[in-house]
Structure 1
Amino acid sequence: MERTEIIISGDTAGIEWRAPVFRFKGSDATAPSVYMQAALHANELPGVAVAHFLLEKLRAAEAAGTIRGDITVIPQANPIGLAQSHFGEMEGRFDLGTRTNFNRDFPLVALAERETLIADLDRRSAVDRLKRTLLHTALGHDLVLDLHCDDESLQYAYIDDAFWPEAADLAAALDMQAVFLSDGESTAFEEAVGHAFKHQGEEKLKTVPGRLSVTVELRGRRDVYAGMAARDADGLWAFLAGRGIVADPALTARAYTGPAVPLDNIEMVKAPTPGTILFHRDIGETVRAGDILATLITRPGEADGTITVAARHDGLIATRSSARYARRGDDLMKIAGHEATRRDRKPGTLED
């Protein structure tokens, strides 16, 4: 194993950030290579725990000589966000200096333009340097996994149509309860990688066999437990074995049996008015159109001081807000349905 560091100097004097990078050299030059990173949103820590347990397994595999493909793991990919707290709370998702989402504004380049990402790097801001370095590193691999989590959530993933259904092996290995088939049109990390993989010539490829770029949502932000992380590390190990990146003949592939839902089929349940949230339904439950999802206490103590929020479509509750007070327009739930929930959704991510 080779351990190096990404070192990002600050935009003011006397500051720098370091992100450890762990690399394992494979024994078979024809085997796929894989890149994994966790905590690009620095306050999303389930992936950090999973990477920790996976790296234990990879060190043992290296000692046993069973690593066939090159593997790169960055278990805490955003030291800038990790250092940013506001009133005692780690922000993690948005850079306090620019108010930009750490998982947006990645450059969209063709795969052949990979080296342009790090040209004149010293002239760029610290956050831009970090983003470009991570993307440049990832594009040197065949398979790219970006480990995130949601708020309160099932285990699911965002996977571009170009990589589905080939990526069903990852969904099965991690026992995902849903897959969201994304449009590949935003500047999020996973979609920037997918953009490069699909632009390897003059025409945009509709499918890219042997490649993968995926955002894995490892349940909710509070789902950071040793047993859970170890099981997910076992799932990633099974995926690596199935793709021939590590050797483990004892493992047998499983089939993915959950739903694969286009983003147009995701109902974003929003608070129509401010209020204290009383949820009636939980993640993992299947609901029908008209079912009451939550009550909002809009005017406490008043006889008519509540309103109800109902499902507009049948589907599976995939995520739920951990907040118990909503501002007008706040997201309350994501429901994965069987039909398009709206026709005017713009391609790209569901949330900022």
Structure 2
Amino acid sequence: MDISEIVIEGDSAGIAWRLPVLRFAGSDPDAPKVYIQAALHAGELPGTALLHFLCERLRRAEAEGAIRSDITIVPHANPIGAAQGLFGGMEGRFDLGSRANFNRDFPLVSLRDRGLLIDDLDRYRAPDRLKRQLIHMALGADLVIDLHCDDESLQYAYIDEVFWPEASDLAAALDMDAVLLSDGESSAFEEAVSFAWKYEAPGEKKSRLPGKLSVTVELRGMRDVYPEMAAKDAAGLWRFLAARGIVRDEAVKLSSFAGPAVPLDNIEMIRAPHAGTVLFHRNIGERVSKGDLLATIIVAPGMPDGTIEVRAPQAGLIVTRVSDRLVRRRGDLMKIGCDMPSAATRKPGALED
């Protein structure tokens, strides 16, 4: 395993961040190259734990000569966000200097312009230099996996429709509960990677990308950081790498993915109609019917008629739930994956900021 660091100089004097990069060299130059990163939202740590266990397995494979492809791993992709302390808490999702989401506003370039991403980096702020160097590394690979987690959540993935159903092997290997089929219209990391591949020839959009994959994997919830879970997830990612011929493991046999694959238009974003204390009646992983009571919001504690009910707009699977119990008006409560499109209008791109 080769270990290097990318040094990101701060935007004020005396500050710099170090980004460790781990590389495993493959024996077959024709095998698809792999890039995996975790914790782009710095406080989302299930992926970092997964990669710790996966690297242990990869080091054994390296000693046995069982790694066929070049594998690049960034176990914690956001040292800037990890260093942002605010009143005793970490803000790792948004850059405090610009209010920008660390997983938005990645440059949308053609693959042939990959080199331009790291030209004259000093003219960019530190978070943008980080983003440019991350996506530059990723565009040197064929299979790109960005490990995140949700709040309270099943295990699921955002997969651009251009990769589906070929990417069902990843969903099967990780035993995902659901797949959300995205439209590729945001500037999030994995969609910026697929944009570069789709527009390898500028102005000519590819509708299929065989042999390629760029995906966001949501490894359950923020607090689901346990050794047994991380080891299980690492074993699942190993199975995927073996099935794709990245590593040699003749014992790996994948079953078919049996979970739902739901377009983003079929996701019901359940939002709070009023501020207050939320009492959930249904949990992640439960299937609900139209009209089922999902939550009660106490909007006027102790008062007659001081509550509001939130009911399911249609039948579906509860994929995520917010962990906060004091909610703001229009704050997200749940994501429900449904068989039919939502009646709510959705703009192209990501479901949330």
Q: Secondary structure at the match of 1:309?
A: strand
Match of 1:110 in 2: 110
Where in structure 2 are the equivalents of 1:140-289 lying within 5 Å? 140-201=140-201, 202-289=203-290
**What is the letter of the counterpart of residue 337 of structure 1?**
C
Match of 1:31 in 2: 31
Where does structure 2 lack aligned partners over 5 or more consecutive residues? Answer: none
Match of 2:99 in 1: 99
**What is the letter of the counterpart of residue 209 of structure 1?**
P
Match of 2:119 in 1: 119
Partner Cα distance (1:343, 1:245) in 2: 42
Q: Secondary structure at the match of 1:8?
A: strand
Where in structure 2 are the equivalents of 1:64-79 lying within 5 Å? 64-79=64-79
Q: Secondary structure at the match of 1:339?
A: coil
Residue 6 of structure 1, CA deviation: 1.3
* 1:5-63 Cα distance to aligned partner (Å, 9 max, x none): 11100000000001110001100111111100000000101001001000101111000
Match of 2:304 in 1: 303
With structure 1 as the length reference, what TM-score do the two structures score?
Answer: 0.99
**What is the letter of the counterpart of residue 157 of structure 2?**
A
Partner Cα distance (1:148, 1:87) in 2: 24
Residue 342 of structure 1, CA deviation: 3.0
Q: Secondary structure at the match of 2:200?
A: coil
With structure 2 as the length reference, what TM-score do the two structures score?
Answer: 0.99
Residue 290 of structure 1, CA deviation: 0.2
Where does structure 1 lack aligned partners over 5 or more consecutive residues? Answer: none
Query: Which shows bigger deviation, 338-347 or 12-21?
Result: 338-347
Residue 343 of structure 1, CA deviation: 6.0
Task: Give aligned-pair identity as a percent.
Answer: 66
Partner Cα distance (2:88, 2:19) in 1: 23
Aligned length in residues: 352
Match of 1:14 in 2: 14
Partner Cα distance (1:287, 1:164) in 2: 26
**What is the letter of the counterpart of residue 153 of structure 1?**
S
**What is the letter of the counterpart of residue 267 of structure 1?**
E
Q: Secondary structure at the match of 2:23?
A: strand
Q: Secondary structure at the match of 2:335?
A: strand
Match of 2:324 in 1: 323
Query: Which shows bigger deviation, 114-123 or 140-149?
Result: 114-123
Residue 250 of structure 1, CA deviation: 0.7
